[in-house]
Amino acid sequence: MTHTAIELDRLTKTYGTRRGLADLSLQVRAGEVVGYLGPNGAGKSTTIRLLLDLIRPTSGTARVLGLDPRADAVALHRRIGYLAGDFAVDGRQRAGECLAFLGGLRGGVPAARITGLADRLELDLGARIRSLSKGNRQKVGLVQAFMHEPELLILDEPTSGLDPLVQQTFLDMVAEARADGQTVFMSSHIMSEVEAVADRVAIIREGRLVALDTVADLRARSYLKVRITFAAPVPAAEFAGLPGVADLAVAGTVLTCRVDGAPDALVKAAARHTVTGLRADGQDLEELFHAYYTGHAA
């Protein structure tokens, strides 16, 4: 197994005058889980389709499991589990029949493996696919992606339509895949699931990579929202020029502000007065990622 599961070098895709991806360079290490985040139209699905040779790049290169997605497509697809964002199969088939057929295309998957995954996801293998809800069709997609225990899982919005309990089961499956040495590359809009399972997060905006780091390190770049209550009114000017303090507002005895970096200077300035209440909240992930989405990250 290669030490790098995915390697993109200045990957670019345009659709006439429309931009898909622009000079995207990214490495995903073997055995890690990477959450791939961005607003609709940012280029997430375009990236995934390029990895699978479903579309061709305008320029730049991609290597997947050490192979060329175009020249080595047949060999490569045997080693990948893929769930499309719009998973669709023949609706006339029963779920079990569909999965057995897909397993046969991959050289055979033990029936017990399919049954075990279906039981975990509470999927009725006897139901016809056209009768299933979106969430249950998504379960079929998850089983077919995981059932052959691929080296690399590429998942495009994998929990779309799933209820919260099944979402947790999916997260457990991802954690088990990582423990077994599999690599997971998944796009998502659900910040809590990314925080729960991802080793690193890649954030894309307008076709360009704007952040790549662990969730913990991304949090370290975030700001604190501070509210201090004093026994008596305080002058705003005393706090306005402090390092890292922004969005300062003083209303009577209550001071609110944002602090980027260490709050030491603010705490020392506040200590010159009688403090009756203090609250400091870290920026939550939803706000942090939204800041990257909109280009307003600190």
Q: What is the pLDDT of residues 106-153, one digit of tens each?
A: 888 999 999 999 999 999 999 999 999 999 999 999 999 999 999 999
Distance of CA 237 to the CA centre of its chain: 42
Backbone phi and psi for residue 243, each to the nearest 5 degrees, phi listed first? -60, 130
| Span 48-74, average pLDDT | 94
3-state secondary structure of 66: coil
DSSP class of residue 131 equals G
Domain ranges (residues) in the chain: 4-214, 223-282
Strand order across the 80-83 sheet: 80-83, 152-156, 183-187, 33-37, 200-205, 208-213
Residue 247 neighbours by CB distance under 10 Å: 11
Residue pLDDT, tens place only, 6-43: 999 999 999 888 888 999 999 999 999 999 988 888 89
Digit-coded pLDDT (tens) for 198-249: 999 999 988 999 889 888 787 777 788 999 999 999 999 999 989 999 999 9
pLDDT band at 285 (very low <50, low <70, confident <90, very high): low
Q: What are the structure tokens assigned to 68, written together?
A: 């060329």
Asked if 263 and 226 count as a contact pair (C-beta separation under 8 A), the reply is yes
The CATH code for residues 4-214 is 3.40.50.300
pLDDT at 160: 86
Q: How confident is the model at residue 55 (pLDDT cuts 50, 70, 90)?
A: very high
CA–CA distances in Å: residue 99 to residues 108, 143, 170, 290 = 10, 8, 18, 38
